[in-house]
Amino acid sequence: MSEHHEQTFWTKYIFSTDHKVIAKQFLWLGLFFLAFGGFQALLIRWQLAYPEQPLPWYLLGNLFYEGGLMTPDHYNVLFTMHGTIMIFWAITPMLIGAFGNFIIPLQIGAPDMAFPRLNMISFWTMFLASIVLLASYLLPEGAAAGGWTSYPPLSTPVGGIAGEGQTLWTLALTLAGTSTLMGAINYIITVVRMRAPGMTYFKMPLSVWGLWLTSIMNAIFVPIIAAGLILLLLDRTIGTQFFIAGGLATVEGGDPLLYQHVFWIFGHPEVYILILPAWGIVSELLSVFSRKPAFGAKVTVICMCTIVVLSSIVWGHHMYTTGMSPLLGKAFMFLTLLISIPSSIFFLNWLGTLWRGNLHFDPPMLFAMGVIWVFGLGGLTGLYNATVTSDIYLHDTMFVVGHFHYTMAASVLFGGLAAIYFWFPKMFNKKMNPLLGKIHFWVSFIPLNYVFFNMMVLGYAGQHRRLYNPSEYEFLAPISDLNISITIFAIILGFSQLIFAYNFINSIINGEKAEANPWKANTLEWTLEGPIPHGNFATTPTVYNGPHEYSNPAVKDRDWIAQSEPMPT
């Protein structure tokens, strides 16, 4: 299987077609932008707690703003780019780019992706997109400032926020989408075509299921937003008026609501695109660290598939306040609330996996259990946003911000960190320090909950999102202390990530060499001794068992059995 390749430094580390190298490239890209976007979050929090006061030295405000003072324009750029970067440049490359690439071929017993060269182009398209995005900061009027959703007319040249940053934003997002689509083609075809003998769909590990379903959703919905972004780009460059209406328009017939529809037809599935890999990974890790089969694994898969279908018909719940007809609003509310059924089922399955398990609290397990908690809270608060009557009050408040940070930021981030702690020994052949990992979990988990839970409290009290200066409103005065304490906890959360950064980099350089199967896991990647060569498996493995056969009584001396080992009879 493994062919001989003459490799130079360039073909081995830079323009590599090896899925494992591309995975690491995506991981570094994602981690860089995670730090970048996280830092922006702290600047936003500073402004909300201490409006119009100079930034302290440790937030480096003097570097970016004159006298460390943030203007409203700067603030608009901050929250726009924070959202954009975190969603499309941090989470997407980390979970889908890095772990999609790393896990899928190894766990299904394939030598590489179906289209290795396309895989390489996918990364470099993403890299180009990153450069375009970062270049927009150098423009005289700064980067995009119309919010991560870039609703017209905020994002259109007439009546919008000045500057070409928005044009580059649109271009960068189109490029990032193209990169995602190349990845999606690869992941889908790889799973369909390259599974090892015996690897039926229901013997695929749940993390592969999550990543596969994510790719299918990407393949369906990213082309649609691409069409919308192209129209927005035309509005910005050659003077069409697709999304401009009313007094701003010079020709009749443009429709800003059309953009919102197109954006959310993609945007709501995007939430699931981001979280499905995390769900899959968590389902698998809970099984590994409970030393038990994943409870109801097939049902979990069916629930995930149901959510894929349902997620495509609920986008209207982002638009209740746009003058939608009440009948349509009710229909979207009903469909949205339907999603809570499959979500609850596999949530119960997670608890079922833990129930009476032999729990090992290693760092990956802590983060996986953290996901259960934060996703539970995020999911439950979603009900208030899905219901028209409560959403009309809560819409565009900090409640929504708290809610989607629980579901998207906290769950997906914890899922990604769990994956890093879990697969680090296979990726880098080194061990991470488990004690630092556990400390990292607790110093992240507690402040994170403080920050996002209290954001919902702020929103319930009436504080709007994207507000430059809450102290200008008298009714928000009683909660200004809460704004300050959230910021303090956010700073703790931000700086505690340095523990992770130290652990991650130090382990790569000085870490102890890891054994082949440190977690005693069943899936195929752990049967390989590191470093894994280009081409992965010396002989194609044959799969006999399901991925979660832990503590099977047929296996006498240990509580695991590799998928490629025949079950003793």
Question: Which residue ranges make up the site for another protein (CB under 8 A)?
Answer: 114-115, 118, 181, 184-185, 188-189, 192-195, 197-200, 219-220, 222-224, 226-228, 230-231, 234, 238-242, 250-255, 258, 261-262, 542-544
Nearer to another protein, 255 or 396 (CB): 255
> Tokens 């081409």 belong to which residue?
535
Nearer to another protein, 115 or 468 (CB): 115
**Helix extents (H) in 238-296:** 256-290
Smallest gap from residue 564 Cβ to another protein (A): 11
Nearer to another protein, 252 or 474 (CB): 252
Nearer to another protein, 72 or 239 (CB): 239
Smallest gap from residue 129 Cβ to another protein (A): 18
| DSSP string for residues in 315-337 | GGGG-GGG---HHHHHHHHHHHH
Measured between alpha carbons, how far is 130 from 64 in angstroms, rounded to an integer?
A: 20
> Tokens 């996996």 belong to which residue?
353
Smallest gap from residue 111 Cβ to another protein (A): 13
Smallest gap from residue 190 Cβ to another protein (A): 9
Smallest gap from residue 292 Cβ to another protein (A): 26
> Tokens 């926020």 belong to which residue?
161
Token pair for 126: 């993403």
DSSP state of 565: S
Residue 374 half-sphere exposure toward CB, CA atoms < 13 A: 34
- What values do phi and psi take at 362, rounded to 5? -80, 165
Residue type, 337: L
Smallest gap from residue 199 Cβ to another protein (A): 7
Nearer to another protein, 187 or 404 (CB): 187
Nearer to another protein, 112 or 362 (CB): 112
DSSP state of 100: I
Nearer to another protein, 234 or 457 (CB): 234
> Tokens 């059995």 belong to which residue?
561
First to last CA, the chain: 31
Token pair for 144: 């995009």
Closest CA to 44 of 66, 10, 74: 74
> Tokens 């080194």 belong to which residue?
430
Nearer to another protein, 102 or 242 (CB): 242
CB atoms within 10 A of CB 511: 19
Smallest gap from residue 170 Cβ to another protein (A): 14
Smallest gap from residue 239 Cβ to another protein (A): 4
| 434 contact partners, CB below 8 Å, separation of at least 6 | 362, 363
Residue type, 73: D
Nearer to another protein, 193 or 330 (CB): 193
- The angle formed by the CA atoms of residues 189, 3 and 119, to the nearest 5 degrees, is 35
Nearer to another protein, 198 or 434 (CB): 198
Smallest gap from residue 193 Cβ to another protein (A): 5
- What values do phi and psi take at 166, rounded to 5? -65, -35
Smallest gap from residue 219 Cβ to another protein (A): 5
Closest CA to 420 of 187, 94, 36, 39: 94
Is 397 in a helix, a strand, or coil?
Answer: strand
- What values do phi and psi take at 346, rounded to 5? -80, -20
